[in-house]
Amino acid sequence: MNDATPAFDIQAIRAQFPILSEKIRGKDLVFLDSAASAQKPRAVIDAMVHALEHQYANIHRGLHWMSERTTEAYELTRDAAARLLNARDRSEIVFVRNTTEAINLLAHSYGRGILTPGQAVVISAMEHHANIVPWQMLRDSHGIELRIAPITDAGELDMAAFEALLSDFRVGLVAITHMSNVLGSYTPAERITAIAHAYGAKVMLDGSQSVVHRRIDVQALDADFFVFTGHKLYGPTGIGVLWGRRELLDAMPPFLGGGDMISSVSYERSTWADTPHKFEAGTPAIIEGIGLHAAIEFVESIGYSAIAAHEAALTEHALAKMSAIEGVTVIGRAQDRGGVVSFTLDRAHAHDVATLLDRQGIAVRAGQHCAEPLMRRLGLDSTARASFGIYTTRDEIDGLADTLTRIREFFA
């Protein structure tokens, strides 16, 4: 295989993912749906099984050995997540179930607790539904205006229009994707935060896709909030992270009420635990949290420079191969883009394409990708989407391209 990137042994990496040796109807699994959820390396699986077999009890409350050890293991994930994002302090890491919950937490606690009616939230025209619907709910319940920053036909944020949306100084928060799950476009986070801050707005970056592909430094980005989910980062489902500046988190009211998030409770009143625990009501996803630690260490062991180089090479190769196929249209032409390639085929609907690819063992996503307004902006009903992970090879992309050519012949 021609996957030689310095210090990046693709076969050694693939060998760490047990599922990649599965056969689909007798054919090798070609998993090109990592943007929906990534596969899990042995280290993550082992860490979770180990915890279940040897080190499990409820956390933050037991006075016994098992609880203390489990608490320690779970809390180490907070350190790992802080390191991953270059947070100033581990207390800025709030554990949530997933990105969707992180954004709902923000819309609830920051939106209802800090923003005031008459202020506005800005999102972009290429958001996942998870970064649209919570803000609509806030708009409708709390009198917050929702503004949509347009994108160009290439699939990039229209920066002039974005700045114009902020010019009346009424925007309290910009909540925007850091990398589109449909177009693969990165948004220029440093420019976004600089502009937003100049107009008095805070910035939340949805890093669901970006954290998988690119080193994140929330201090260098000058972000205020950054959210991501574990399962796209080779970790388990059910665990995600909301990072926020400590002073912002401190000022926010809690989200869910219950155990673990209180300092004291009486029938008259309760007081809240400190950040981050005041946002973490109830028994969390303990095993999944421990699994996320293993996922972060797995990514760090390979290193973001190697990951980024591998995926940049794959993406460039994919764009060249796909563009060369008659009848294939790649959607989105952003200059700065990652390993997500949406496309249409002239002779077949995306679902039919996905079904026929599946019969060859090739897993892609087809549909609206939880981004219906973006699809309308693009004038499309659906696309097929191939998305790449740390384990994706050039051969797999060549196989995708060859099969697309054959699908086009099938529907001739």
Partner 1 sequence: MFEDVRDLYNAAILERGRRPRHMNKLAAFDATAKGDNPMCGDRVQVWLKYAPDGSIAETGFDARGCEISKASADLMVEAVWGQAPADTRAMFERFRQMAQSGECPSCAAFAPLKPLAAVHAYPSRVKCATLPWHALLAALEGANNATSES
Q: Where on the chain is the footprint of partner 1 (CB under 8 A)?
A: 25, 348-352, 355-356, 359-360, 366-368, 372, 375, 380-382, 403, 406-407, 410-411
CB of 391 to partner 1, least distance (A): 24
Mark whether 370 is an active-site residue: yes
- Nearer of residues 268 and 409 to partner 1, judged by Cβ: 409
CB of 344 to partner 1, least distance (A): 12
User: Taking the mean position of all CA atoms in its chain, how far away is CA 272?
Assistant: 29
- b/e code 162-191 from CB counts within 10 Å (16+ = b): bbebbeeeebbbbbbbbbbbbbbbbbbbee
- b/e code 353-367 from CB counts within 10 Å (16+ = b): bbebbbebbbbbbbb
User: Looking at 108-247, which runs of residues are DSSP E strands?
Assistant: 120-124, 145-149, 171-177, 202-206, 225-229, 240-244
- The answer for residues whose C-beta is within 8 angstroms of residue 60's C-beta and 6 or more apart is 71, 260, 277
> Residue 374: which H helix or E strand, with range?
helix 372-378
The single residue of 48, 151, 341, 370 carrying the catalytic annotation is 370
- Nearer of residues 362 and 386 to partner 1, judged by Cβ: 362
CB of 38 to partner 1, least distance (A): 20
Type of residue at 58 = N
CB of 180 to partner 1, least distance (A): 17
- Nearer of residues 250 and 372 to partner 1, judged by Cβ: 372
CB of 147 to partner 1, least distance (A): 24
- Nearer of residues 140 and 402 to partner 1, judged by Cβ: 402
- Nearer of residues 25 and 64 to partner 1, judged by Cβ: 25
- The answer for residues whose C-beta is within 8 angstroms of residue 126's C-beta and 6 or more apart is 151, 155, 157, 177, 180, 182, 183, 185, 371, 374, 377
Q: Catalytic residue positions?
A: 370
